[in-house]
Amino acid sequence: MGFFETLADRIEAVDSVVSVGLDPDPSRLPETVTDADLPRWAFNRRIIDATHEHAACYKPNAAFYEDPDGWRALRETAAYAEGKGVPVLLDAKRGDIGNTARQYAGILDHVDAITVNPYLGRDSLQPFLDRADKGVFALCRTSNPGGTDLQDLELASGEPIYERVAALADTWNANGNVGLVVGATTPDELETVREIVPEIPFLVPGVGAQGGDAEAAVEHGLASRPDLPVDVGLVNSSRGIIFAGEESSRPDDEATYFGAAGDAAKRLKKRLNRHR
């Protein structure tokens, strides 16, 4: 079964398109986990316990695991999430040439999908694309303000670069495993990209702490494919869910702290489902 078939089943089972970003910033971890052998893993486990009933996917960002203990924590996190029946999308933004790309693609042995950077061209992504059972989300129109520096530049054809990336992704999708990253902070561009690629699912960041457009994220982020039982796509929130406990009534109480994350995930699911 391919990634998007697995994701469709998960979306249908929990009635949710919420992606929970697992970005365990060590400087923000609560004291209840800081004495653990692997604090980031201890934190993620409690977040997963609190949110898995509302999560279509978990999206750990590789930047928060770039050290020996971090990679151990990431492996434990991925295995635990899969044990709960939730697929794992690693936000790693990989992309390189030749043998290097093949080595990077090896991380797909441990997760269900990955984000990639398409700006080195198709050959830099081929080792990922060849993994037909894995999801490959190419950066297209990102949610950060500086994304306009390159992604909006106009080509000789008159189209901006992000539109060309979307069109290319369609040609790379021979295995039906390609998705695009398109931010909710740029709803007009989200709509434009959807018109270019009607059947490619999007990962839509920016709805949480960045304040992106939830309605546009759902309306344009989900793809209808004839081979899938539900519209498929993901709307991600990271800090807005996993650190919701910082604003809770008793942030020093473990049950209250992590319960707030579960409540935040549930609220986002309900908010998004109003537009599905």
Residue 192: count of CB within 10 angstroms of its CB: 18
Catalytic-role residue among 59, 93, 134, 270? 93
Tokens representing 88 are 């794992």
Tokens representing 37 are 């052998």
Contact 76, 38 (CB under 8 A): yes
* Domain total of the chain: 1
Element counts in the chain: helices (H) and strands (E): 12, 8
Residue 131: count of CB within 10 angstroms of its CB: 19
For residue 184, the model assigns a pLDDT of 81
- Which residues, other chains included, contact 71 with Cβ-Cβ below 8 Å and sequence gap of 6+? 65
Range of the domain at 36: 3-273
pTM of the model: 0.95
Residue 39: HSE in the Cβ half-sphere, 13 Å Cα cutoff: 14
For residue 143, the model assigns a pLDDT of 79
Whether residue 270 lies in the annotated active site:
no
CATH for 146: 3.20.20.70
For residue 208, the model assigns a pLDDT of 60
pLDDT tens digits for range 157-213: 999 999 999 999 999 999 999 999 998 877 888 999 999 999 999 999 977 656 668
For residue 173, the model assigns a pLDDT of 97
For residue 228, the model assigns a pLDDT of 93
Phi, psi (rounded to 5 degrees) for 250: -135, 75
The alpha-carbon radius of gyration of the chain (Å, integer) is 18
135's enclosing H/E stretch is: strand 135-141
Beta bridge partners of 59: 21
Positions in the chain short of pLDDT 50: none
Q: Could you tell me what percentage of the chain is helix, strand and coil, using 3-state DSSP and rounding each to the nearest 5?
A: 50, 15, 35
